[in-house]
Structure 1
């Protein structure tokens, strides 16, 4: 396998405290920008896995780990906002399999406390009851890489060094693959003693669920989709191997017939293609195999008409993509579904689902709301990233650019520009 076709890795140390859009941008924008510029290739699409090391999990054993979901999804939203802003600034497409010049950026949260003592440096895949994994498990399962980017800072160097001690036992990483990138200030505002209480400890740990459901069109998978899918997966209560039935992640994907009136409808991806993209993306955060992706780029998918399934982590997680023909899908067909994931844009749909379930005599679903990639915050980030240059685009313009409609428009214009010379030749 040619190394240039492999994903690249960007290792990011723990975020600042408090972690808001301004502090995240200051800390991570320089690193992300250098990595994106480095791997962009006008001859092909590229993939960048961004691994952020955060001491998220707490609990006495691997079977009872807990964390605060609001903090995790907020961090994901902040990072994906920065990615969207930078890709707009650098003229980089963000969708999965977007073609030459695009960078498919995927964010993975690692549970890692730099003060934890490891008895040895053998990378062992040690899954727990969440989809979050520790640094040794990540090093053992995620490989090989094209480039490994690391931040030039004390925390960044520490993270790189401990990662390499784990990774070098399962993969060979040459010196030329290691690329240092700039890092911004990571400030921790703690007590007078200097002790910092991470925000995930302040919040109450979240109850995880055996069955999680969400829905969408997922046309040309972009940062907003990636945020929603990752945040939903974090709510899964994953059984340890052989300890019980698998947890289920059910994703309703709108059928083709409901999308015929979309703008640039002729460029909407077929349902099968959208379902495969969702499952292949989720493999980035769910798959744990010591073989990495050297021999297999992507999960095995059982494909039936309107029903695609894949399993991960020794069959402890089932991902099911189902074709939906209305606003409800499986949420009013399966009483055992426990929770629903929505965005601010689809909040009303979540209420409609629970109203219908209640009318059927079923319990309502616990609803979790994922942050929308904020246009206002994105424009602020753009302005900060373009000091001394032209002013950032108006909010409404940038908001439209983080959408499947914009991606379809770009494809329609590209197709029209290719067809124009042919038409001119025929007329002459």
Structure 2
């Protein structure tokens, strides 16, 4: 979860606590509510001189919301379209801020970069979140955890940022009570940042009343994942949210199968000399997912990097082996979707929906069941989010090519 250079424990990620989103959660409302806090935290980390971090800073944005529904811990559900839409808007806001401030946001981008990762945390401010005892780690059957579990599993922090408004102070107060005894914090580590304006009206349908999404045991997606950027982070997070996580001790973990384009297919890409190797792209993908999926009472103190089994595929396991990540080399448009029958869901973007249709056509020819397809929004480099229902020209999407171009131009000036 923290940068790989944090072996000595000196380079820690920071936390930004965001209160629940406004209703309705339109892009304008989300921008008004969250942009000031995000901008202040990102700027602070870029300019922070307390230590020199070879890989840049990591900021975990805990977006709290009443996301989950269900009376029992092992039977939680969520509305995937609602959640991925909010994630897309938040990552788009982050991308705009970073572009305006000339701050790289891809993983391990070097000094001056801020690798921002959004983690969804279930929290209903109208209900008590405090237990009688010290918060325990209680994972449910989704990738989303409740605030008490987040406090118990995510630590230690370099800074904890919170908005300067009433919801921000209420959230900080609740969190610090849950966090008591986990990390000793100096006053200088708790940083108040500008808060936005959240105007809420009665929603037509709350997230709990929206149609709940069926989760799946095997979810598949694909991409290059070169210089892992906000578009990739959105895609990976959205896919992880579809997993049906089994109980501890199961012999059948859920699987997130990620097809990552092989090195040979990328040799003709623009600025190919700056394309990261397959191994590095797979390692960064797994490291990012650890921010969402791994839970340990030791936080990340004793696990600076996820343990990866390296063979033909890269395999990592989280949550006591209940979740498996399989990074697979792909050399064509289909990848493992036409070599492995036992899959349930496929995650695509508006840009790649044609590929998803082709996959299902090929599976039909093989006599296999179709994969349920889920489409994430596409982030535009100008801050526009192209919703999955729209047909758009994706020429201006956030891309690894643009990142490589900037890196090439930076190197040429040295």
SS of residue paired to 1:63? coil
- 1:153-192 aligned at under 5 Å gives the runs 153-190=165-202
Deviation at 1:175, TM superposition (A): 1.2
Deviation at 1:224, TM superposition (A): 0.2
C-alpha separation between the residues in 1 aligned to 2:178 and 2:30?
A: 27
SS of residue paired to 1:138? helix
- 1:19-418 aligned at under 5 Å gives the runs 19-41=25-47, 43-44=52-53, 45-117=56-128, 118-120=130-132, 122-190=134-202, 199-243=206-250, 245-305=252-312, 307-375=313-381, 377-378=383-384, 399=396, 402-418=398-414
Deviation at 1:294, TM superposition (A): 1.6
SS of residue paired to 2:139? coil
SS of residue paired to 1:236? coil
Greater mean alpha carbon deviation, residues 138-147 or residues 171-180: 171-180
**Kept after mapping to 1: 8 A contact 2:164/2:195:** yes
Deviation at 1:30, TM superposition (A): 0.2
C-alpha separation between the residues in 1 aligned to 2:70 and 2:373?
A: 24
**Kept after mapping to 1: 8 A contact 2:15/2:157:** yes
- The CA RMSD measured in Å over matched residues stands at 2.0
Deviations 1:277-326 (CA, angstroms, capped at 9, x unpaired):
00000000000001111232121001113x10000000000001000000
Aligned residue pairs total 397
C-alpha separation between the residues in 2 aligned to 1:255 and 1:69?
A: 30
**Kept after mapping to 2: 8 A contact 1:71/1:199:** no
Deviation at 1:336, TM superposition (A): 0.7
C-alpha separation between the residues in 1 aligned to 2:9 and 2:165?
A: 27
**Kept after mapping to 2: 8 A contact 1:21/1:377:** no
C-alpha separation between the residues in 2 aligned to 1:396 and 1:92?
A: 26
C-alpha separation between the residues in 1 aligned to 2:408 and 2:69?
A: 49
Q: Which residue of 2 aligns with 1:388?
A: none
C-alpha separation between the residues in 2 aligned to 1:235 and 1:346?
A: 18
C-alpha separation between the residues in 1 aligned to 2:188 and 2:407?
A: 36
**Kept after mapping to 2: 8 A contact 1:40/1:102:** yes
Q: Which structure has the highest helix share of the two?
A: 1
C-alpha separation between the residues in 1 aligned to 2:148 and 2:204?
A: 25
Deviation at 1:242, TM superposition (A): 2.0
Deviations 1:346-402 (CA, angstroms, capped at 9, x unpaired):
0000000000000111111000000111456549xxxxxxxxxxxxxxx999935x2
**Kept after mapping to 2: 8 A contact 1:121/1:166:** no
Q: Quick check: which has more Rg, 1 or 2?
A: 1
SS of residue paired to 1:40? helix
**Kept after mapping to 2: 8 A contact 1:237/1:247:** yes
C-alpha separation between the residues in 2 aligned to 1:417 and 1:155?
A: 45
Pair 1:168–1:105, CA change in 2 (3 A): same
Deviation at 1:406, TM superposition (A): 1.1
**Kept after mapping to 1: 8 A contact 2:216/2:242:** yes
5+ unaligned residues in a row in structure 1: which ranges?
191-195, 380-394, 419-428
SS of residue paired to 2:92? helix
User: Structure 2-normalised TM-score?
Assistant: 0.92
5+ unaligned residues in a row in structure 2: which ranges?
1-5, 386-391
C-alpha separation between the residues in 2 aligned to 1:121 and 1:80?
A: 35
**Kept after mapping to 2: 8 A contact 1:94/1:105:** yes
Deviation at 1:414, TM superposition (A): 2.4
**Kept after mapping to 2: 8 A contact 1:82/1:378:** no
C-alpha separation between the residues in 2 aligned to 1:291 and 1:82?
A: 32
Deviation at 1:128, TM superposition (A): 0.4
Greater mean alpha carbon deviation, residues 112-121 or residues 324-333: 112-121
SS of residue paired to 1:248? strand
